[in-house]
């Protein structure tokens, strides 16, 4: 082998080794830094309906969303519509003055009354901690989903999703008392 071809071979060998090392390095880095695609988007798509704070009726609001205040809706509420909605309650509640306790306590005087307003009714454990007042807003929060307001309550009633229907109902309940609180 001539000296020059030996030199040429060395150069070719060097090039081959470089290429080979480069290839190996590529394989190695592929194996080491295998790109793992995240399963979730870094930015979760925003649920516009749930975030919306504007009105638009309780129907669209999820149970998790903030409960719409009832005060502004009371002025648009109808006692007649409320009376119709209250038929859902009469399976368990008497709505007349001095009515009997049934599955649930009688309703007379509940609006503006204290929570657990009937002395001779056996409330559940879930209700024992309630010491506030059935203001318009508390009734609103309770009636949207009783089981959420008082977990473990024996009032087995799913709740009333529509804020306007709750306003109608509460305005009607207000007529069932001797001294209802003034409207907000
Ligand atoms: C399936 C029976 C049932 C139905 C239907 C029902 N309730 Fe009740 N309700 C109860 C029971 C039972 C309680 C007592 C809750 C407890 O002790 O956990 C109660 C408690 C209440 C209370 C609290 C009273 C207090 O003295 O603190 C209010 C207010 C109330 N119900 C309103 C209503 C309204 C309004 C409706 C109709 C939209 C309704 N309920 C439908 C069974 C029912």
Distances (CA, A) of 100 to 10, 15, 97, 115: 107, 100, 9, 18
Q: Quote the ligand 1 centre to 71 CA distance (angstroms).
A: 21
Q: Quote the ligand 1 centre to 105 CA distance (angstroms).
A: 7
pLDDT digits (tens, 9 = 90+) for 70-94: 999 999 999 999 999 999 999 999 9
Instruction: Find residue 114's DSSP bridge partners.
Output: 133
Question: Architecture of domain 65-173 in CATH?
Answer: Orthogonal Bundle (1.10)
- Least confident range of 45-54, 57-66, 98-107: 45-54
- Residue 61 pLDDT > 50: no
Rounded mean pLDDT of 46-59?
A: 46
Mean pLDDT in the chain? 83
Rounded mean pLDDT of 9-38?
A: 64
Give 68 or 31, the one with higher predicted confidence.
68
Residue 84, ligand 1, Cβ within 6 A:
no
- Residue 39 pLDDT > 50: yes
* Alpha-carbon span 17 to 9, nearest angstrom: 12
Q: Quote the ligand 1 centre to 155 CA distance (angstroms).
A: 5
Mutate to test the pocket of ligand 1, among 157, 159, 161, 169 (most ligand atoms within 8 A of CB): 157
Rounded mean pLDDT of 126-137?
A: 97
Residue 145, ligand 1, Cβ within 6 A:
no
Which residue, chain included where needed, has tokens 């009997």?
100
Distances (CA, A) of 150 to 128, 138, 139, 173: 10, 12, 12, 20
Residue 144, ligand 1, Cβ within 6 A:
no
Residue nearest to atom 36 of ligand 1 (CA): 89
């Amino acid at each position: 082998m001539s000296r020059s071809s030996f030199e040429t071979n060395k150069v070719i060998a060097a090039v081959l080794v470089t290429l080979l090392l480069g290839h190996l390095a590529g394989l190695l880095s592929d194996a080491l830094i295998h790109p793992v695609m995240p399963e979730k988007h870094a930015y979760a798509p925003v649920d516009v309906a749930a975030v919306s704070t504007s009105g638009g009726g309780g129907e669209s609001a999820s149970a998790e969303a903030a409960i719409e205040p009832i005060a502004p809706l009371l002025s648009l509420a109808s006692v007649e519509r409320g009376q119709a909605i209250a038929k859902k309650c009469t399976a368990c509640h008497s709505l007349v003055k001095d009515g009997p306790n049934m599955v649930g306590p009688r309703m007379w005087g509940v609006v503006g009354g204290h929570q657990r307003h009937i002395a001779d009714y056996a409330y559940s454990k879930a209700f024992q901690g309630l010491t506030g007042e059935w203001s318009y807003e508390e009734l609103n929060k309770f009636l949207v989903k009783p089981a959420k307001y008082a977990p473990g309550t024996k009032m087995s009633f799913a709740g009333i999703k529509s804020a306007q229907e709750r306003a109608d109902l509460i305005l009607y309940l207000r007529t069932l008392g001797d001294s209802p609180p003034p409207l907000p």
